[in-house]
Amino acid sequence: MSINHIMRPLHKAVLGLLAPFIVTSSVMAAENTLEAAPNVEVTPYIVNGSNASVTDFPSMASLFIDRIDYDGLYSVGSYCGGTILDPTHILTAAHCIYGDKEAQLFTVVIPQLQDTSQFPYGNVEKVRVSEVYYRDDYSNSLNQLLPNDVAILKLESALNIDSVNDVVNPPLNDDYRMGVHDFVAVGHGDTRSGFDGTTLLQKANLNYVDNATCASAFSAGSNLTDKQICFIGDYSKATKLYGGTCQGDSGGPVYWKDGADYKQVGITSFGPEICGGNRKVTSVFTEIYDYKNWIVSVVAGNETAKFVSTDAKRSAYVNRPISFGSSSGGSISFALLGMLMLVTGMRKVA
């Protein structure tokens, strides 16, 4: 089984506009593509899900591209999910932001968002990302199954959340892997492959899948590690799919229901080619228990940021001349920019 469903949004291959060029970013050419899968569409959504309330999942966060203050452009939906570690730190997947200058410069975080259609005109709080952290041992390769797919985003200012106690509270051990437990994935991603069915937050109940069974579902399964945890949802006769995550749910959480408490155990990373279409596994997550020391170190300020975003860098990026190819030169035309906006999910404020 191949892996065409990693969960990262907006970055869609644009073919046929100016052959032989391929544009893979939200507006212009992305400076990073996933190894061995340059045209993979990456976004996050819940298959066979139901409406979720952010009241039940107060650690939920949503990531958007926001260039409104610079050239009026913004993403029409969240491109990844995340969870609130504390008022200034967001936990997400490394593949959501690794090597992507657009995302690194212009990501804003909206906490506890119920409906993505509220951005940018609704009464929602948004805070810009200022620093990006991911591990040195992260590999942005599908052939290696995205090992160590974890990142932390530091914000320019603190989120106005009700209580710090409402944020991520992972289990103290991984005993949740033993026996049958209740798990639920949450996100704003596609409701099936290639179909953005709702703007409302979704949830899906999941069942734990052991790593041996999970590895057998993928052609590169031998690269699955014990720092990744797998799940599958129930089968629906109506959709003929198994419950799980999909494009656009990347970086979002899977929770273990420990009595009355939801405790995050994983970060949405990837899944099979057709969302919900594999009878062995539908969702693979980075298991956060294995990274708790690194997470604590980042939040404590003991790690060096991989990327720092500033107002000067954002302005320089927006105003830079764009050329395609080493010999063609020239700047991007307004006509082409308009076409790219249409096909890549970006809009301009009226």
Question: Does 250 qualify as catalytic in the annotation?
Answer: yes
pLDDT tier, 100 (very low <50, low <70, confident <90, very high otherwise): very high
Q: Which one, of 55, 129, 123, lies nearest residue 92 by Cα?
A: 129
| Mean pLDDT, rounded, for 199-220 | 91
- Residues recorded for the chain: 350
- pLDDT of 244 reads 81
Measured distance CA(13)–CA(170) in Å, rounded: 36
pLDDT of residue 196: 59
pTM of the full structure: 0.82
Give the domains, in start order, of the chain with CATH numbers. Answer: 5-44+58-164+298-348 (2.40.10.10), 175-289 (2.40.10.10)
- Token duo for residue 218: 């993928």
The catalytic residue among 78, 250, 269, 283 is 250
Higher pLDDT, 49 or 123: 123
β-bridge partners, 110: 62
Phi and psi, residue 244, nearest 5°: 170, -170
Long-range CB contacts for residues 311-320, cutoff 8 Å, separation at least 24: 313/105, 314/67, 314/70, 314/105, 314/106, 315/70, 317/101, 317/102, 317/105, 318/67, 318/70, 318/71
Q: CA of 295: how far to CAs of 151, 262, 263, 301, in Å?
A: 9, 19, 16, 10
